[in-house]
Amino acid sequence: MEYPFQEIEKKWQKYWEKKRLFYVNEQDQRPKYYLLSMFPYPSGALHMGHISNYSIADAVARYKIMQGYKVLQPMGYDAFGLPAENYAIEHNSHPKITTHQNIEKMRKQFKSIGFGYDWDREFATCDEEYYRWNQWIFLKMYEKGLIYRKSSFVNWCPFCQTVLANEQAEHGYCWRCETKVEQREVEQWFIKITDYAEELLDHSKLGKWPQRVITMQKNWIGKSYGTEIFFKIAESNEIIPVFTTRPDTIFGCTYMVLAAEHPLVRKLKKGSPNEKEIDEFVNRIINEDKILRTAEDTEKEGIFTRRYAINPVNGERIPIWIGNYVVMEYGSGAVMCVPAHDQRDFEFSNKYELPIKIVIQNWDKSLKLEKMKSAYVDDGIMTNSEQFDGMKSREAINKISEWMEQKGIGKKTVNYRLRDWGISRQRYWGTPIPIIYCDKCGIVPVRENELPVKLPDSVQVGKTTQNPLATVSDFVNTTCPKCGGPAKRETDTMDTFFDSSWYYARFCDPKNDKLPFDKEIASHWLPADQYIGGIEHACMHLLYARFFHKFFRDIGLTLTDEPFTNLLTQGMVTKDGAKMSKSKGNIVDPQSFIDRYGSDTIRVFMLFASPPEKDVEWNDEGLKGAFRFLNRIWILVSEKNDFLIHCPKNYDEDIEISQSLRNLRYSTHHTIKKVTQDIENRMQFNTAIAAIMEHLNNVTSFNINEDSSNIEKAIYRESIEVIPKLLSPFAPHLAEEIWEMLGHKPSILESGWIAYNKKFLVKNEITYVIQINGKLRSKVIVDKNTSKNEVEKLALADPKVQKYTKGKKIKKIIVVPKKLVNVVVE
RNA sequence: GCGAAAGUGGCGGAAUUGGUAGACGCGCUGGACUUAGAAUCCAGUCCUGAUUUCUCGGGGUAGGGGUUCAAAUCCCCUCUUUCGCACCA
């Protein structure tokens, strides 16, 4: 027999919707709990990862509702971006059409699973009413000086004549035509997230975040203390700043290397006798695959510019090289090279026969240039460094920096690995950047009251060989807000990480047409108490969102420092030990399983299979196991229903009862305690569900019939009534159904969470484990009031124990109250 | 290379503070029901050795060492896996 899950699930989904149990507002007096799951890209169908993620979130939401919170659990769609554009190209359609079709499908699917969302707050980032606030935020950041233009390199496919995203240019070849991707320099918009680097490094105002994520963010930001040293270029007025963490080695600097992308390269090579060679070298390096080029085992290569810089501490002329091992993305894109004390420089100078000079001696002063097989990178004693000679190198770092600061040739700085955030995308399906270019007035931001700059529909995606928006003359041609003359619009769109950086706040006030969100309303809900999503967003999305929140605070839109108090990063759903993916062909579609076993079953399986932050291995048989469990509950209650509703609800708690009845009552209250703690303290749903299963086993093995006493009937009834309560976060439909069958008024969500009675957790008999030398040998059951001495005596009197103690000297006896006795013998 | 996390039956995983290792589920084995299968129910299931049975012993949490009356849990070393960073100046 199978329980009618289809009927039941539909029935309760309708009921919840009708009663609006998941719709919340600010006036509601219950304490708030904002539970947010990372919103999905609308691909058209939920995959297993979504089911897992949203089942976790819904379990927490329902538990919190039963605890008396008003839970804000919203849902929306991260709808802009390249995948949608590609999808439309493939299906020969328009992203607006396909995206909306996909959203329809997903909403329907969400509803059929019965997740408790406040649907009044639903939005998609491609909605005009949403992205206009992207533009508004952009303008505010622009006003605050957080946005600037800079030229940088993009992937360019010369065959498709188009810009490629990094993931489209994997291994350096175009994903569509397999042409070798080139690097082109393009002017792009950047956000100064680095202004907030220091604050983003401070994770002290967060609640429970996985240590792993915090560490990843710290590495990503990559703060390091060092010194910036200014090198003058000989026969020029140019100054090259160089960042180093080892200013103590400055006297050993024998040359300098610039990154191939360094802006000064262009000037330096001009008029050089080997200009052509330099050009060839630079072009080759720039167009090499980034990952390959920056691998540690890639051979170092370089070319001499035939120009020199002046080492500011001793006036020496040092050659300037261009090398593949220096990257533009870190520091200033130029390094001072100290071959004696840096392994990379050591290798490079050996290859190109550049001079090596020891300026740090090892502690026994045995370092000899001729014998060096690698750089000496450790601390030591300063040498060949003029007035710093004899000093410990560790101390010299600071001393030299201060001396250079005084002389104006350097300064102590902090360097971050974190780069400013390039948000320009040469793509159609995104938020238009609200900027106008006027020949007379230059760069002019769009006026706030003219927002939104609408994304035009009339673009044939995939058919253009240039930036798609540039082909729409109605869009491009406009008038300058300043002078009224003819002007052109920016045709780049925004990175979709911009959209997802503040959706959490919009959910608080999703209909606002005056502001992205109202300060008062947002402060009511923010910060989100619990955020749930994948670990893959540890750095980018979570850093951007934290940055946005701090920016909102600085312009007076929010009150707190952090957007998400607690973070849970859930694991992936795997099949055969690997992430489900198209390329591996191991994708399992959840829908067929939902149709066959119901949404409660798939939820229970997902939550039961492993703790939330670990991966879940998909298993058809395991799913059936979850179904069997739910079915067993339904059969138990429906078969005994008539009997159960005639069992008394209350009983005298102090009355003496049999041991087996006492055990049943213990199981009931112990399970409540276990499930509550597992959810509350650890979000460990697998053990919570296991506890319910165990309790169900205890209940079904208890003998009860019409002739049983009233107290037996009452305790039995109680043991069954806790099941729907505790099950409600995990299998909400079945829980409601059973709750109603047992004669209660729906909804179970409004019935409150259940408390256990401590009194019933006290056992009147205690089983002591008896060990001899730490090995389990016997057990004794004693009354709970038995004293330590008596337990000890009883243990020694045990025949099995005597077998081991006979004729031996007892050295020690350890009694752990209520647990065990360990007898130590010779 | 650096950093972090982890390693427990055939499998997913329990063991919350050092105190009965393997909860719960899957799978498997045997039985009941059935013409048969599916479903369901009952019993068993870490390895291993005795034992007619009730049972009794030995070993066991990647490997090795240590602390402790007592270690999956704490410490040291080694191995493996996963993840993050990676020519970071």
Which nucleotide lies closest to A326 by the C1' atom and the CA atom?
B87
Same domain, A176 and A277: no
Q: Does residue A791 surpass a pLDDT of 80?
A: yes
- Tokens of residue A803, six digits: 């077998």
Q: Does residue A280 surpass a pLDDT of 70?
A: yes
Which pLDDT belongs to residue A464?
62
Same domain, A711 and A571: no
Q: Does residue A91 surpass a pLDDT of 90?
A: no
Judge whether A623 lies within some domain. yes
CA distances from A743 to A118, A442, A632 (A): 29, 74, 19
Which pLDDT belongs to residue A463?
62
Query: CA A383 → C1' B87, Å?
Result: 27
Same domain, A674 and A536: no
Q: What is the dihedral of CA A388, A390, A395, A400, to 10 degrees?
A: 10
A283 touches strand B (CB under 7 A): no
Same domain, A354 and A229: yes
A622 touches strand B (CB under 7 A): yes
- The mean per-residue pLDDT over the stretch A233-262 comes to 94
Q: Does residue A329 surpass a pLDDT of 90?
A: no
Which pLDDT belongs to residue A337?
96
- What is the residue whose two structure tokens read 């100054």? A239
Judge whether A361 lies within some domain. yes
pLDDT in tens, A42-59: 999 999 999 999 999 999
- Comparing A249-258, A288-297, A438-447, A546-555, the range with the smallest average pLDDT is A288-297
Judge whether A323 lies within some domain. yes
Residue A728 domain boundaries = 598-761
Mean pLDDT of chain A: 92
3-state secondary structure of A58: helix
Q: Does residue A749 surpass a pLDDT of 70?
A: yes
A777 touches strand B (CB under 7 A): yes
| A181 or A377, greater pLDDT | A377
* CATH number of A790's domain: 3.10.20.590
Q: Does residue A288 surpass a pLDDT of 90?
A: no
Q: How confident is the model at residue A151 (pLDDT cuts 50, 70, 90)?
A: confident
Same domain, A231 and A344: yes
How many structural domains are present in chain A?
5
Which pLDDT belongs to residue A174?
77
Judge whether A583 lies within some domain. yes
Judge whether A42 lies within some domain. yes
Beta partners for residue A770, in sequence order:
A778, A821
Which nucleotide lies closest to A337 by the C1' atom and the CA atom?
B89
Q: Pick the last residue of a domain from A761, A787, A810.
A: A761
Q: What is the dihedral of CA A377, A379, A380, A384, to 10 degrees?
A: 60
pLDDT in tens, A182-200: 888 889 999 999 999 999 9
Which pLDDT belongs to residue A181?
82
Judge whether A15 lies within some domain. no
A296 touches strand B (CB under 7 A): yes
* CATH number of A623's domain: 1.10.730.10
Same domain, A566 and A633: no
Task: Provide the residue type at A657 as one letter.
Answer: I
Which pLDDT belongs to residue A293?
72
A677 touches strand B (CB under 7 A): yes
Q: Does residue A351 surpass a pLDDT of 90?
A: yes
Q: Does residue A11 surpass a pLDDT of 70?
A: yes
Residue A678 is classified by DSSP as I
Which nucleotide lies closest to A293 by the C1' atom and the CA atom?
B87
Which nucleotide lies closest to A332 by the C1' atom and the CA atom?
B89
Q: How confident is the model at residue A12 (pLDDT cuts 50, 70, 90)?
A: very high
Which pLDDT belongs to residue A726?
97
Distance CA A755, CA A221 (A): 45
Query: CA A161 → C1' B87, Å?
Result: 32
pLDDT in tens, A293-303: 777 778 889 99
Q: How confident is the model at residue A365 (pLDDT cuts 50, 70, 90)?
A: confident
Judge whether A433 lies within some domain. no
β-strands A182-191, A223-233 pairing: unpaired
Cα-based angle A212, A214, A217 (whole degrees, multiple of 5): 110
Task: Write down how long chain A is.
Answer: 826
CA distances from A790 to A112, A331, A763, A786 (A): 61, 73, 18, 6
CA-nearest of A423, A397, A433 to A412 is A397
Q: Pick the last residue of a domain from A416, A450, A473.
A: A416
Which pLDDT belongs to residue A465?
65
A243 touches strand B (CB under 7 A): yes
Which nucleotide lies closest to A336 by the C1' atom and the CA atom?
B89
**Protein residue nearest nucleotide B23, by CA to C1':** A690
CA-nearest of A239, A251, A481 to A359 is A251
Q: Which residues in range 323-342 of chain A are in contact with strand B, contact meaning CB within 7 A of any of its atoms? A: 324-331, 333, 335-336, 342
**Protein residue nearest nucleotide B41, by CA to C1':** A632
pLDDT in tens, A442-474: 999 999 999 899 999 988 776 666 788 999 999
Residue % of chain A over a pLDDT of 90: 71
3-state secondary structure of A354: coil
Q: Does residue A481 surpass a pLDDT of 80?
A: yes
Query: CA A317 → C1' B71, Å?
Result: 65
Other residues' Cβ atoms within 10 Å of the Cβ of residue A535: 17
- Comparing A88-92, A225-229, A400-404, the range with the smallest average pLDDT is A88-92
Q: How confident is the model at residue A690 (pLDDT cuts 50, 70, 90)?
A: very high
Distance CA A479, CA A780 (A): 92
Which pLDDT belongs to residue A100?
96
* CATH number of A280's domain: 3.90.740.10
- Tokens of residue A186, six digits: 């393009």
Same domain, A706 and A740: yes
Query: CA A23 → C1' B25, Å?
Result: 35
Other residues' Cβ atoms within 10 Å of the Cβ of residue A366: 8
A293 touches strand B (CB under 7 A): yes
Which pLDDT belongs to residue A241?
94
Same domain, A372 and A350: yes
Q: Pick the last residue of a domain from A389, A416, A443.
A: A416
A812 touches strand B (CB under 7 A): yes
Same domain, A515 and A628: no
CA-nearest of A341, A343, A359 to A351 is A343
Judge whether A371 lies within some domain. yes
CA-nearest of A526, A610, A627, A517 to A571 is A610
- The mean per-residue pLDDT over the stretch A378-390 comes to 93
Cβ distance A557 to A62 under 8 Å? no
Which pLDDT belongs to residue A364?
87
Which nucleotide lies closest to A324 by the C1' atom and the CA atom?
B87
- What is the residue whose two structure tokens read 């049983």? A708
Query: CA A328 → C1' B72, Å?
Result: 49
Complex ipTM: 0.95
Query: CA A623 → C1' B13, Å?
Result: 15
Distance CA A756, CA A665 (A): 10
Q: Which residues in range 748-767 of chain A are in contact with strand B, contact meaning CB within 7 A of any of its atoms? A: 767
pLDDT in tens, A92-104: 899 999 999 999 9
Q: Which residues in range 647-676 of chain A are in contact with strand B, contact meaning CB within 7 A of any of its atoms? A: 674
Q: Which residues in range 159-198 of chain A are in contact with strand B, contact meaning CB within 7 A of any of its atoms? A: none
pLDDT in tens, A112-137: 999 999 999 999 999 999 999 999 99
pLDDT in tens, A581-599: 777 788 899 999 999 999 9
Distance CA A64, CA A649 (A): 26
Same domain, A789 and A729: no
CA-nearest of A16, A114, A31 to A68 is A31
Other residues' Cβ atoms within 10 Å of the Cβ of residue A349: 23
- Tokens of residue A574, six digits: 């795997």
Residues 6+ positions from A70 with CB-CB distance below 8 Å: A24, A28, A30, A31, A32, A33
Same domain, A264 and A365: yes
Q: Which residues in range 592-611 of chain A are in contact with strand B, contact meaning CB within 7 A of any of its atoms? A: 608-611
Which pLDDT belongs to residue A741?
95
In strand B, which positions have an atom below 7 A from any protein CB?
Answer: 3-5, 11-16, 19-21, 23-27, 39-42, 56-58, 69-71, 83-89
Which nucleotide lies closest to A701 by the C1' atom and the CA atom?
B42
Same domain, A692 and A569: no
Phi, psi of A614 (to 5 degrees): -95, 160
Phi, psi of A414 (to 5 degrees): -115, 135
